[in-house]
Copies of this chain bind each other. A is one copy, B any other.
Amino acid sequence: MLRREPPAIELVVVGDELLSGEVADTNSAFVSGQLAGIGLSSARIVEVSDDADDIRGELSQAISRSDLVFVLGGLGPTPDDKTLAAVADLCGQRLVRHKRTLRRIEAGFRRRGKRLPRLARRQALVLAGATVLDNPVGMVPGMAVEYQGAVIMLLPGVPVELEAIMTQGVVPFLKKRFRLRVSARVRIRTCGVPEAAIADRVKRVLVPYPGVHVGFYPHTAGVDLVIRGESPRKLTGLQRDIARLLGDAVYETGDRDIGEVVGALLRKRGLKVATAESCTGGLIGDRITDIPGSSDYYAGGVVAYANDAKVHLLGVKPQTLRRHGAVSSSAVREMARGVCGRLGADVGIAVSGVAGPGGATRKKPLGLVFVGVAVTDRCMPADEADGSGASDRVRTEKHIFQGIRRMVKEKAAVAGLDLCRRILLERGSGR
């Protein structure tokens, strides 16, 4: 059987709003990530204006170089959406009304009890001869057209719509249309160690693994390492070496985020968690509840922003706040215990800190954050439990995070979830 090279791919992303900075292009990353999952990668991404000539120009260049060209955005119903007309013009194709799409659009408006605006009908126009890829969460569908030996793939620019069409329509389409060489990839996710320190350590174990590439991707809340190689077998040894080297800084080998990892640990052991948040303002609860089915293990939480809320809703002692302040090890200790008791949870996560820009003092600098996790007997190995049921085991940690308010909040939320993760793993052996 002939071994075919993987198709050359380019992305043309359309929108004045991208060039003017009104909107960030998250779509090309999503498309590229999905392509990586089936062993493909884009060689180049270009963002252009809504001008029909610009779109046609970039697209015809891309077609001349590549086998597969994605055009993202500009398919909406408003006058500044020019992609469809530009592609029709380039390919010499008519636009036709797509019946299945029109029925979906009408049903969508009916379901929400709203009148169908006249412009909405334009969203059912497609290129004659195109393969139409249904939009399960919105109006405008995706389309695939063959032109001059290349496949042009059109996707609407609203991120959730593009994502749904990409995963449910485009990926299956491409798997059939192209013969794909799948390469191996592993993602190792860490938190609590700076990028330079991780790179320093990892460099040492890289030597015996030629042909394997490691990328470092710092996020606000930690550093991801992505290892790539020709076959999964080649990666296994390196992956094990890196995991040993970085120890419990690694919270995930795979694509789950920290909220999902903690959720899986709780679910596995049948435990319930509750949150007591001050400076994070609800972000930990938000992260936990982003995971479908989190109601099975998340009891709820208290956003104790004001000191009154800490006292009345969590039972923090006023003298603790007077003596040590709300940003203190003692305060998060009582918050974590309090929320466990109030919500009947097995594990309590508490966070209090100075997110800034105001509120810092000499003793409590900007970015100072205390996290605390309380566990009840149910989380303990049988030989450690004292049977009293009291949630008196609490561990706290002190951090000083760099960055602006949102960064401090995100780092603090991850630190709270990560402390919970490490405690659940340590305590896991006895059950």
Asked if A21 contacts B45 (CB within 8 A), the reply is no
Do B407 and A160 have beta carbons less than 8 Å apart? yes
A298 contacts the other chain (Cβ, under 8 Å)? yes
Give chain B nearest CB distance to A194 CB in angstroms: 7
Instruction: With CB as the reference atom, state the residue of chain B lying closest to A81.
Output: B216
A80 & B216 in contact (Cβ 8 Å cutoff): yes
Interface size class of A (residues with CB under 8 A): 35 or more
Contacts of A36 in B (CB 8 A): 20-22
Q: Which B residues lie within 8 Å of A219 (CB)?
A: 23
Closest residue of chain B to A219 (Cβ to Cβ) is: B23
Q: What's the least CB distance linking A179 to chain B, in Å?
A: 21
Q: Which residue of B lies closest to A76 (CB)?
A: B195
Whether B77 contacts A199 by the Cβ 8 Å rule is yes
From 248 to 305 in chain A, residues with beta carbon under 8 angstroms from any chain B beta carbon are 275, 277, 279-286, 288-290, 292-295, 298-305
Verify if A306 is at the interface (C-beta below 8 Å from B).
yes
Contact B117 A200 (CB under 8 A): yes
Within A110-126, the residues touching B (CB, 8 Å) are 111-112, 114, 117-120, 123
Q: Are B282 and A305 in contact (CB under 8 A)?
A: no
- Among candidates B31, B224, B313, residue contacting A300 with C-beta atoms closer than 8 Å: B313
Distance, CA A29 to CA B282, complexed state (A): 27
Interface residue? A211 (CB, 8 A)? no
Smallest Cβ-Cβ distance to A343: which chain B residue: B309
Within the complex, what minimum Cβ distance (angstroms) separates A404 from chain B?
Answer: 6
Instruction: Please pick, from B295, B305, B405, B407, the residue contacting A299 in the complex, using a CB distance under 8 A.
Output: B305
A-B contact pairs, 10 of them (CB 8 A): A19-B32, A21-B28, A25-B29, A44-B47, A76-B218, A119-B200, A137-B402, A282-B285, A282-B286, A285-B303
